[in-house]
Amino acid sequence: DAGVIQSPRHEVTEMGQEVTLRCKPISGHNSLFWYRQTMMRGLELLIYFNNNVPIDDSGMPEDRFSAKMPNASFSTLKIQPSEPRDSAVYFCASRRTGTSNTGELFFGEGSRLTVL
Amino acid sequence: QQQVKQSPQSLIVQKGGISIINCAYENTAFDYFPWYQQFPGKGPALLIAIRPDVSEKKEGRFTISFNKSAKQFSLHIMDSQPGDSATYFCAASTGTYKYIFGTGTRLKVLA
């Protein structure tokens, strides 16, 4: 299995620009999570999808953030306009939920975003 | 209610020593308690996990101790090695729903 694939691995952009982060979950996993990691706040859950439907977006900081999951194999997290305080590592994670659920969450390697 | 409190924030242990990291939770609906290990530049990866029907789980040098009545659980790393140096996160989950992570413990094992 290829694991959770994220792109880009690194993104440097200027304040005000649009940023799009991409994620391909593990095939067969029906739950997808976006987390943001910073030194100050640790791992924060931004949004959770189940079967491509957003279930909980209460962690999305503000309207500048949006996430979509158009199909079971692809999700995006968009920041528009970006601000320096958005600088962080953004992780995508997936898991299989259901009767065979082991509970394990599989993380991608993250997208490190720097907003100048 | 949704928080998982983790301590200490950082830990330095001599090689061969025991590393202990503690977590506490409030929500009794949590039914899955994993520990994740993260190396620099990588995503967190599952290390070991426990469900509340047992009080202890051991895998090699790693042991989770779980106290349901106190709503606490801890990770013990026996015979700590320099290769164990990483950031460790506890987490709690409610079945099919979201994970809540602790704030992390940065462990350094001195050679």
The CA–CA distances, whole Å, from A55 to A44, A68, A79, A92, B58 equal: 16, 12, 19, 15, 34
pLDDT higher at B2 or B37: B37
B46:A50 CB<8 A = no
pLDDT at residue A1, as a whole number = 62
Q: Which of B37, B101, B106 to mutate to test the interface with A (most CBs of A within 10 A)?
A: B101
Which of A2-11, A20-29, A98-107 is least confident?
A98-107
pLDDT at residue B17, as a whole number = 97
Longest dimension (CA), chain B: 41
The average pLDDT across A38-59 equals 91
Distance CA A4, CA A21 (A): 13
pLDDT at residue A99, as a whole number = 56
The average pLDDT across A65-94 equals 96
Which burial class, exposed, middle or buried, applies to A72 when counting CB atoms under 10 A from its CB (0-12, 13-18, 19+)?
middle
Report whether B48 contacts B27 (CB < 8 A): no
Which burial class, exposed, middle or buried, applies to A68 when counting CB atoms under 10 A from its CB (0-12, 13-18, 19+)?
middle
Query: Quick check: A5 contacting B, CB < 8 Å?
Result: no
- Give the one of B41, B89, B93 whose C-beta lies nearest to A43's C-beta: B89
Report whether A72 contacts A91 (CB < 8 A): no
pLDDT higher at B88 or B99: B88
Quote the minimal CA–CA distance from B72 to chain A in Å: 19
Q: In this structure, what is the dihedral angle of CA atoms A41, B57, A94, B83, given to the nearest 10 degrees?
A: 60
Question: What region does B95 belong to: left with phi over 0, alpha with psi -120 to 50, or beta?
Answer: left
B5 to chain A: closest CA residue:
A42
Report whether B99 contacts B88 (CB < 8 A): no
The average pLDDT across A78-90 equals 97
pLDDT of A29 over the 60 cut: yes
Query: Quick check: A103 contacting B, CB < 8 Å?
Result: yes
Distance CA A109, CA A26 (A): 13
